[in-house]
Amino acid sequence: MRRSVRRNLFSLAVAVATVVSAGAAAPTSTEAATTGAARGAGTAAKVPVAVGYGGAVSSVDADASAAGIEVLRKGGNAVDAAVATAAALGVTEPYSAGIGGGGYFVYYDAESRSVRTLDGRETAPRSADSGLFLGEDGQPIPFAEAVTSGLAVGVPGTPATWRSALDAWGSRSLATLLRPAERLARDGFTVDETFRAQTAANEARFRDFPDSAELFLPGGELPVVGSTLKNPDLARTYAELARKGVGTLYRGDLAKDVLRTVNEPPVDPASARVVRPGDLTGRDLRSYRAEFQAPTRTSYRGLGVYSMAPSSSGGTTVGEALNILENTDLTGADRAAYLHRYIEASRIAFADRGRWVGDPAFEDVPQRELLSQRYADSRACLIKDDAVLRSPLAPGDPRRPVPCAAGDKAAPTTYEGESTTHLTTADKWGNVVAYTLTIEQTGGSAITVPGRGFLLNNELTDFSFAPADPAVHDPNLPGPGKRPRSSMAPTIVLDGKSRPVLALGSPGGATIITTVLQTLTGVIDRGLPLVDAIAAPRASQRNQTTTELEPGLWNSPLRAELEAIGHGFRQNAEIGAATAVQLLPDGRVLAAAERVRRGGGAAMVVRPAG
């Protein structure tokens, strides 16, 4: 590792730890975890940063983080804590995650000093083909019809991910790890402003499905902030998973309920909504596997950046953008120059993502070439300090790189729902997990499995409905058993001795990639403390004519400086909701989360310092 980078990370870590240790007003994370776990009714406190010993958990929800801390305090490892936290998020963040969805699991093993990953992405039914979302006229069906349908539901991958992760790296049984979440579902959690707002955004859809309406619109009304929302059906489902194992979702009674719900969506007879049925079969469920695979790896400023390989585009796209920025001095650049370079690198990486990345079981993805420094250098020379690249930008050819070649046909970015959630854990042995999971857009398909207490995903809408240009191959068209392309980018950063220094990730659809990229460069290049890098106002360029800006940048003089050289912008109230863990040189661990986005996050450690 470069000496300056090592010194920078160390000084940042110590500075942040000192500030946090000095703040005694907030309850300690141990107190918050103990209280929340004991009462199980949304009493744990949200704190955006915590420093201490014995392990850490960071998620968007205090009760979920408390569930992970409970596991760590009882001797579980980072993998155990990640599963417990994820299960609790299925209770308190049911519109973003749950056993009806999927995700990507990145694990650092301290003993072998290596990074492993699990692809738990949902899969299309075997009957799916490239015309999955085309109508009888051969044209794409309306997007609104696709998202609220059985047609969009892929085979859930989350339960299989938990089983595979625990079998390979865990130290506790699934039954043990589901207990905090089961308790939370039974006793309830406290409704906050974010949960109420997300419910309101889905109210019309939920009312068309009686089980969703009964669960999320108690008494026929939006849940009241401060009230307790219980989910006894999910508590019983978790208890069944604990007794029978996750196989019951793939070949047991739960599987039958999922199939019936997907293929015969339980729509209110009074509803006028057109809800298309799906075509999942028992064979689709039985044949599902979470896939072990090698991570992507990029060297940046002497650090090893590891993330998810395809079917997610997160690792390749973040990695390519970092490679493009590798030979640029972002530390000495002013804020406008830094943002300009970051935006242009994102634009280029997304141009290549749209053309080359899909499910590698079906597509020839040039992953090694996309992540080569040679290819990045051939693309980096497109960036000028006083001009902006046109968008949409055409992809390059990573197998035959031509320096500064602009190309002529662009591959647009497909829509991805901005829901999803991310959690990060670390244990006292030095193991680390970055885990991003989802049911696609906020509220998923809006269809609750009757009597089971969880929503089904609408993940298949991440496929391209039709090729943007029939003359250009689209690697993200549907296919039988195919995984739709994702942007999830759970990431772990190692130093020159293969020891973890940072782990992070975010929700946000395609903005996940830019959120992770901006946070990484904020810490490594700009010298921001981790919690400040997470809180910094964000920009997101995804090979589109305009770049999205959060209000903190939209209302800043920086916008005018960037517009003066040709940038165009549109406003986005909120981009991403990152969580992270930093391993400090003195043996302490720092957990960090959002201060404000999604109502703030919950960073906790087992034993707080100071």
Mean pLDDT of 348-367: 97
User: For residue 42, is pLDDT > 80?
Assistant: no
> How many beta carbons lie within 10 A of that of residue 324, not counting itself?
27
Query: Does pLDDT of 293 surpass 80?
Result: yes
- Count up the domains in the chain and report the number: 1
**Rounded mean pLDDT, 201-220:** 98
pLDDT, residue 17, reads 40
pLDDT on residue 415: 62
Q: Residue 610 — pLDDT band, cuts 50, 70, 90?
A: confident
Backbone angles phi, psi at 378, to 5 degrees: -70, -25
At 41 the pLDDT is: 47
Per-residue confidence (pLDDT) for residue 413, from 0 to 100: 62
The model's pLDDT over 567-597, given as tens digits with 9 standing for 90+, comes to: 999 999 999 999 999 999 999 999 999 999 9
Is residue 372's pLDDT more than 60?
yes
Distances (CA, A) of 368 to 55, 121, 364, 365: 34, 21, 11, 9
Residue 205 located in a structural domain: yes
Q: How confident is the model at residue 11 (pLDDT cuts 50, 70, 90)?
A: very low
Q: Can you tell me the mean pLDDT for 104-123? A: 98
Q: Tell me if 587 is assigned to some domain.
A: yes
Mean pLDDT for 241-257 is 97
Domain that holds residue 174: 3-131+145-292+415-563+568-608
Catalytic residue among 420, 421, 491, 511: 420
Residue reference for tokens 């696609």: 440
Q: Is 317 a catalytic residue?
A: no
Bridge partners (DSSP) of residue 550 are none
pLDDT of residue 78: 99
d(CA 296, CA 278): 33
Task: Report which of 573, 581, 571 is spatially closest to residue 601, judged by C-alpha positions.
Answer: 581
Alpha carbons within 13 angstroms on the beta-carbon side of residue 365 total 24
Residue with structure tokens 């890098």?
A: 533
Q: How confident is the model at residue 467 (pLDDT cuts 50, 70, 90)?
A: confident
Residue 33 has pLDDT above 80, yes or no: no
139 domain residue, yes or no: no
Mean pLDDT over 59-78 rounds to 98
| pLDDT, tens digit (0-9, with 9 covering 90-100), for 414-461 | 666 567 999 999 999 999 999 999 999 999 999 999 999 999 999 999
DSSP secondary structure letter of residue 549: E
According to the model, what pLDDT value does residue 36 have? 39
Residue 560 has pLDDT above 50, yes or no: yes
Which of 532, 537, 517, 507 lies closest to 61, judged by CA? 507
Beta strands (DSSP E) in 542-584 are: 547-549, 569-571, 579-583
| pLDDT confidence bin for 43, thresholds 50/70/90 | low
What pLDDT score was predicted for residue 418?
63
Nearest to 519 by CA among 169, 24, 12, 72: 12
Percent of the chain with pLDDT over 90: 89
Question: Per residue in 253-278, pLDDT tens?
Answer: 999 999 999 999 999 999 999 999 99
Q: What is the CATH number of the domain that holds 215?
A: 3.60.20.40
What is the predicted pLDDT for the residue at 411?
A: 67
Residue 310 maps to a domain:
no
Residue 310: the pLDDT is: 98
Please, is 524 exposed, middle or buried when counting C-beta atoms within 10 Å of its C-beta (0-12, 13-18, 19+)?
Answer: buried
41-45, 87-91, 270-274, 296-300: the lowest-pLDDT one: 41-45
* Contact (CB, 8 A) for 603 and 579: yes
Beta-carbon contacts of residue 260 (< 8 Å; ≥ 6 apart): none
Q: What is the DSSP letter of 257?
A: H
**69 has pLDDT over 80:** yes
Q: Is 288 helix (H, G, I), strand (E, B) or coil?
A: coil
**Other beta carbons less than 10 A from residue 487's beta carbon:** 31
Condensed to tens digits (0 to 9), the pLDDT of residues 502-550 reads 999 999 999 999 999 999 999 999 999 999 999 999 999 999 999 999 9
What pLDDT does residue 24 have? Answer: 28
DSSP SS3 for 593: strand
Tokens of 59: 């998620």
Q: Which residues contact 11 (CB under 8 A, 6 or more apart)?
A: none
pLDDT (0 to 100) of residue 19: 38
DSSP 8-state assignment for residue 448: B
Cβ pair 522, 530 in contact under 8 A? no
Contact 374, 329 (CB under 8 A): no
- Residue type at 471 in one-letter notation: A
- The whole-number pLDDT of residue 471 equals 81
pLDDT at residue 152, rounded to an integer: 98
The residues facing 109 across adjacent strands are 114
Q: Is the pLDDT of residue 14 over 80?
A: no
* In a domain? residue 332: no
Whether pLDDT at 5 is above 80 = no
**In angstroms, what CA-CA distances link 159 with 87, 242, 257, 454, 509?**
10, 11, 15, 13, 21
Q: Which two tokens stand for residue 468?
A: 């943007």
- pLDDT value for 470: 83
pLDDT at 416: 60
SS3 74: coil
Distance CA 528, CA 513 (A): 19
DSSP state of 459: G
* d(C-alpha 420, C-alpha 490), whole Å: 12
> If you average pLDDT over every residue of the chain, what do you get?
92
